[in-house]
Structure 1
Amino acid sequence: MLLVTGITGHSGRYFLQELIKNKYEGPIRCTVRETSNTFLLDNSGLKIEKVFGDLNDQDFIDRVMDGVEVVIHIYNIHHSPNIVQTAIEKKVKRVILVHTTGIYSQFKYASKGYKLIEERISQFKNDTKCPTSITILRPSMIYGDLCDSNMSKFIKMVDKLRIMPVISRGNSLIQPVNARDLGKAFFTVLMSPEKTVGNAYDLTGEMPIKLIDVFKLISKELNKKTFFISVPLSLGVLMARVLKILTLGKINYIEKVQRMAENRNYSHDNATYDFNYEPMSFEKGIIIEVQEYLKKKEGSKSK
């Protein structure tokens, strides 16, 4: 029995498509919320068992883990310690955890919680009596369609603003990964235990790209003429601090602004070597997302 969390989410949906495409034959138990759209699950043609519940409920985790051999946990890194601990208690053979490259950030708010979680996971992994093997996958900034919370915001900003501020000339490097590539990677790792068991992999886009070049590509695909104005990091942080004070701490963008000047590019060489991970170029991926945005925008106008 394969247990999957987060299969109706952004990258989870692309993992489901890979299961369908490759005609996965084993039984699959999926944790879903009452509000989740399960259309793809219901029409997948796979041996899927839907279990409605909340991963914040430990009793629920205990129940869904019964009879499970492999877990792929896509939904929310903060549940990973409980997922792993329960898997060990239930003698699950293998757990695949989807975490984040956010763990590498130099900023405390962005990385501290992730580091504590992985330290806890390491304690489980280092226990020689642990019957469960643990693989960690760390995607970088995820994009691919309008369900993402990253590039979709950038696309809207570039579409609406003729003059757009960028921190420190937009020279920081990012390496966004398309959700389609993640879906393929999740499936490949699932089906390649002999190569991936016990390892950790960073899953990033094909190549690093400057943030300013991301905005320029989006502007080009939108057929917009956008003027970019460089804002010094110090000024951006000052404005974020003022906003925090004015809102009595309700809006705190200080570290988000700081991270706009932080390089967030990481090598995926280990994933390429172990299971032939070959992500698409950002240029190709962003065209898909911009075209989806324009199609939706045109559809809204015609209503």
Structure 2
Amino acid sequence: MTVAVSGANGFTGRFVCAELQRRKIPFVALLRPGSDVSWMAAREIPVRFADLTESHQLAEHLRGCRALLNVASIGFGAAPSILQACHSAGVRRAVFVSTTAIFTQLNAGSKTVRQAAEAAILASGLQTTILRPTMIYGTPGDRNMIRLVQWINRWPVLPVFGNGRSFQQPVHVTDVAWSVVQALESPATIQRQFNISGAEPLTYNEVVRITAQALGRRTRRLHIPAQPVVSLLNFTEGLGITLPVKAEQILRLNEDKAFRHAEAQETFGYAPIAFQEGIRQEVSLFRAGRDGLSD
């Protein structure tokens, strides 16, 4: 019996597909209608099209599957539909990817949606596992660390809003993908939730320093008091003016985001790579113009 992967076309989802192929686990990708499937055709990945908010449609495509790996974001309100589809299709086992952002102290718009989704998953009666990655990075397609890589590669000075001492714990995308599949194959993860974080917490200043070293660049950090900038951005956002940086992003940068992954290590052998190694890999792919999935 095959495994269904929702969100298979996303950044993390593509690596989950690669991990399933590496382990020779049969699976099918669930994609939104109209998605580009050219890369999947090249890798001979079977595809089914379904809207995750349409439970009846989704259930039809889940029939005959032994499990669901839901890598698609649960921050858009589709969790109840997905759970209903699993019940209708007789899929009892599911692994859901959430995020450690549910623990933020900020009033992020998606926080309550994700918390409600997790509550629904836990109360669903299915055999579920919830994985909560920290900030995911690893290739030029990550939309996170690549922005810092590009800036440091181009400019000798980096503006830092705040003192740069808040903790970050980026996790490599291959570690997340491995965890998703390993959790599926580990019965001890059923009815459990796990934080999936990088090897160790680092201050933002350390992240900048290590990234600059990987690039072979000298970078001077220009620290700018965060609160005046946040106030200014809140004002401009209230006027409907869109700027490249949002107030919430600066507040998040100055919030500690260090999370222990000891439970994942003890339960299913999770052992993430060090940030120094992960960012070296990303820099190498960045310079080679590769996506990390072509090998």
- Normalising to structure 2: TM-score of the pair? 0.89
CA contact (8 A) 2:50 2:61 kept: no
Residues 144 and 52 from structure 1, CA distance in 2 versus in 1: closer, same or farther, beyond 3 angstroms?
Answer: same
Whichever structure has more helix as a proportion of its residues is 1
1:267 is aligned to 260
CA contact (8 A) 2:55 2:84 kept: no
Q: How does 1:1-303 map to 2 (within 5 A)?
A: 1-24=2-25, 26=26, 28-33=27-32, 34-40=34-40, 42-44=42-44, 49-77=46-74, 78=76, 79-109=78-108, 111-124=111-124, 130=125, 132-192=126-186, 194-245=187-238, 248=240, 250-251=242-243, 253-296=246-289
CA contact (8 A) 1:203 1:268 kept: yes
User: What CA deviation, in whole Å up to 9, does each residue of 1:84-114 have, x standing for no partner?
Assistant: 1221233322111011111000011152222
> Which stretch shifts more, 31-40 or 212-221?
31-40
Unaligned runs of 5+ in 2: 291-295
Partner Cα distance (2:204, 2:37) in 1? 33
CA contact (8 A) 2:6 2:70 kept: yes
SS in 2 for 1:228: strand
CA contact (8 A) 2:137 2:145 kept: yes
- Normalising to structure 1: TM-score of the pair? 0.87
Q: Detail structure 1 runs of 4+ shifted over 6 Å in the superposition.
A: none
SS in 2 for 1:217: helix
Partner Cα distance (1:244, 1:87) in 2? 40
In structure 2, give the amino acid aligned to 1:231.
Answer: I
SS in 1 for 2:5: strand
Partner Cα distance (2:192, 2:36) in 1? 31
In structure 2, give the amino acid aligned to 1:84.
Answer: L
Partner Cα distance (1:225, 1:42) in 2? 40
- The share of aligned pairs that are identical, in percent, is 25
User: What CA deviation, in whole Å up to 9, does each residue of 1:193-220 have, x standing for no partner?
Assistant: x211111111011000111111112222
Alpha-carbon offset, residue 82 of structure 1: 1.6
Unaligned runs of 5+ in 1: 125-129, 298-303
SS in 1 for 2:91: coil
In structure 2, give the amino acid aligned to 1:276.
Answer: G
Residues 42 and 271 from structure 1, CA distance in 2 versus in 1: closer, same or farther, beyond 3 angstroms?
Answer: same
User: What CA deviation, in whole Å up to 9, does each residue of 1:202-247 have, x standing for no partner?
Assistant: 10110001111111122222222221111222122123224324x5
Partner Cα distance (1:89, 1:296) in 2? 44
1:301 is aligned to none
> Which stretch shifts more, 230-239 or 144-153?
230-239
